[in-house]
Amino acid sequence: MNGIATPKPRYCLSWKRLGGIALGLCLLPAISAAAEKHWQPPKTSFGHPDLQGTWTNATVTMLERPKQFGNQLVLTPEMGKRMEENNPFARMKELDARPTDPNAPPPEAGTNVGGYNAFWMDPGTRVVQVDGEYRTSIITSPEDGQIPYTDEGRREFVEGYAVRNSAIGRDGPELRALGERCLVGFGSTGGPPMLPVLYNNHYQIVQTPEHVLILVEMNHDARIIRLNDEHRPPEMDPWLGDSVGHWEGNTLVVETTNFHPLQEIRSATRHRLYIPHDAVVTERFTRVGPDQIKYEFTVEHDEAYTQAWSGAMPLYTTDKQIFEYACHEGNYSLPGILGGARQEEREATQKAGSKN
What band does 130 get if pLDDT is binned at 50, 70 and 90?
Answer: very high
What band does 149 get if pLDDT is binned at 50, 70 and 90?
Answer: very high
In tens, the pLDDT along 10-29 reads: 333 333 333 333 333 344 44
Q: Is 118 left (phi over 0), alpha (psi -120 to 50) or beta?
A: alpha
Share of the chain above pLDDT 70, in %: 83
Please report whether residue 104 resides in a domain: no
231, 273, 228: which is closest to 246 by C-alpha? 228
Between 197 and 162, residue with greater pLDDT = 197
In angstroms, the CA 143 to CA 136 distance is 12
What band does 206 get if pLDDT is binned at 50, 70 and 90?
Answer: very high
297, 258, 255: which is closest to 147 by C-alpha? 297
Please report whether residue 46 resides in a domain: yes
In angstroms, the CA 63 to CA 242 distance is 23
- Say yes or no to pLDDT of 96 above 60: yes
Please report whether residue 298 resides in a domain: yes
Do residues 12 and 3 lie in contact, with contact meaning Cβ atoms separated by under 8 Å?
no
Which pTM does this prediction carry?
A: 0.82
Please report whether residue 102 resides in a domain: no
60, 53, 328: which is closest to 215 by C-alpha? 53
In tens, the pLDDT along 48-88 reads: 999 999 999 999 999 999 999 999 999 999 999 999 988 87
Please report whether residue 123 resides in a domain: yes
In tens, the pLDDT along 188-199 reads: 999 999 999 988
In angstroms, the CA 271 to CA 262 distance is 17
In angstroms, the CA 212 to CA 245 distance is 8
Please report whether residue 347 resides in a domain: no
- Say yes or no to pLDDT of 283 above 70: yes
Between 14 and 97, residue with greater pLDDT = 97
Please report whether residue 341 resides in a domain: no
Mean pLDDT of the chain: 84
Task: Using only the alpha carbons of the chain, give its radius of gyration.
Answer: 23
Provide the domain limits for residue 57. 19-93+116-317
Residues 6+ apart with CB under 8 A from 41: 49, 50, 51, 250, 287
In angstroms, the CA 4 to CA 75 distance is 5
The number of beta carbons lying within 10 Å of the beta carbon of residue 126 is 20
Number of compact structural domains in the chain: 1
Please report whether residue 7 resides in a domain: no
In angstroms, the CA 75 to CA 130 distance is 11
At 168 the three-state DSSP class reads coil
User: DSSP string of 260-326?
Assistant: -GGGSEEE-SS-EEE--TT-EEEEEEEEEETTEEEEEEEEE-TTTBSS-EEEEEEEEE--SPPPP--
